Amino acid sequence: MDLQAVIESLPRYGEPLLVTIGVTVASAALALVLAFALGLMTGSRHLAVRTPARVFVEFFRGSSVVVQLFWFAFAMPVVLGIQFDYLIAAGIIALGLNYGAYSSEVVRGAIAAVPQGQLEASTALNLTPLQRMRLVVLPQAWPEMIPSLCAFAIMLLKASALVSVIGILDITWLAGLIGKQPGQDRLLHYGVVLVIYFVLAWLIWTGMRALERKAKRGIGIDAKSVKGRLAPTVATGGVH
Amino acid sequence: MRQNEAPREPSGPGPIIEFDRVDKSFGDLMVLDELSFRVDPGERVTLIGPSGSGKTTILRLLMTLEKVTPKADPERDGGVVWLEGKPYSHMEKKGVLVPANEKWLRRRRSRVGMVFQQFNLFPNMRVLRNVTEAQVHVAGRSKEEAEAKARELLELVGLAEKTDEYPSRLSGGQQQRVAIARALAMDPDILLLDEVTSALDPELVADVLAVLRDVAESTSITMLCVTHEMGFARDVSDRVMMFDSGRIVEQGPPDAMFSEPQEARTQDFLRAVLAE
Reply yes or no on whether the pLDDT at B194 is more than 60. yes
Q: How far is CA A215 from the centre of its chain?
A: 18
Helix (H) or strand (E) holding B87: strand B86-87
**Does A123 sit within 8 Å of B124, measured CB to CB?**
no
- For the segment B24-41, what is each residue's pLDDT rounded down to a tens digit? 999 999 999 999 999 999
Per-residue three-class SS string for B139-167? CCCCHHHHHHHHHHHHHHCCCHHHCCCCH
A226 vs chain B: nearest CA distance in angstroms? Answer: 12
Chain A: residue whose CA lies nearest to B171: A233
Range of lowest pLDDT (A75-79, A116-120, B30-34): A75-79
Chain B: residue whose CA lies nearest to A226: B168
What percentage of residues in chain A have a pLDDT greater than 70?
91
Task: List the Cα angle B5/B190/A132 in 5-degree steps.
Answer: 120
**Does B113 sit within 8 Å of A121, measured CB to CB?**
no
Stretch B1-20: mean pLDDT: 64
Chain A CB contacts of B109 below 8 Å: 123-124, 126
* Domains of chain A, earliest start first: 15-170 (1.10.3720.10)
Chain A CB contacts of B112 below 8 Å: 124
Chain B CB contacts of A231 below 8 Å: 168
Highest mean pLDDT (candidates A133-137, B5-9, B226-230): A133-137
Chain A residues near any Cβ of chain B (below 8 Å): 115, 117-118, 120-121, 123-128, 131, 135-136, 139-140, 218-221, 230-231, 233-238, 240
Long-range contacts of B74-78 (CB under 8 A, 24+ apart): B74/B98, B75/B1, B75/B2, B77/B21, B78/B2, B78/B3, B78/B20, B78/B21, B78/B22, B78/B34, B78/B36
Please indicate if any CB of chain A lies within 8 Å of the CB of B106: yes
C-alpha pair distances (Å), B199 with each of A99, A230, A233 = 43, 18, 12
Reply yes or no on whether the pLDDT at B114 is more than 90. yes
List the single residue in B63, B116, B168 with the smallest CB-CB distance to A220: B168
What pLDDT, on the 0 to 100 scale, is given for residue A232?
39
What pLDDT, on the 0 to 100 scale, is given for residue A221?
67
**Does B169 sit within 8 Å of A218, measured CB to CB?**
no
A33 vs chain B: nearest CA distance in angstroms? Answer: 23
In chain A the first and final C-alpha atoms are separated, in Å, by: 74
Of A226, A217, A220, whose CA–CA distance to B126 is shortest? Answer: A220
User: Which residues are bridge partners to B26 per DSSP?
Assistant: B29
- DSSP of B231-254: HHHHHH-SEEEEEETTEEEEEE-H
What pLDDT, on the 0 to 100 scale, is given for residue A82?
74
A239 vs chain B: nearest CA distance in angstroms? Answer: 9
What pLDDT, on the 0 to 100 scale, is given for residue B193?
96
Stretch B177-195: mean pLDDT: 96
- For the segment B138-160, what is each residue's pLDDT rounded down to a tens digit? 999 999 999 999 999 999 999 99
Stretch A213-233: mean pLDDT: 59
Grade residue A59 by pLDDT with cuts at 50, 70 and 90. very high
Stretch A40-50: mean pLDDT: 92
Reply yes or no on whether the pLDDT at A235 is more than 60. no
Q: Give the span between the Cα atoms of A60 and A75, in whole angstroms.
A: 16
Reply yes or no on whether the pLDDT at A141 is more than 60. yes
- Mean pLDDT of chain B, nearest integer: 91
List the single residue in A115, A126, A131 with the smallest CB-CB distance to B110: A126
* CB distance B47 to B224 below 8 Å: yes
* Domains of chain B, earliest start first: 17-274 (3.40.50.300)
Q: Give the span between the Cα atoms of B182 and B131, in whole angstroms.
A: 4
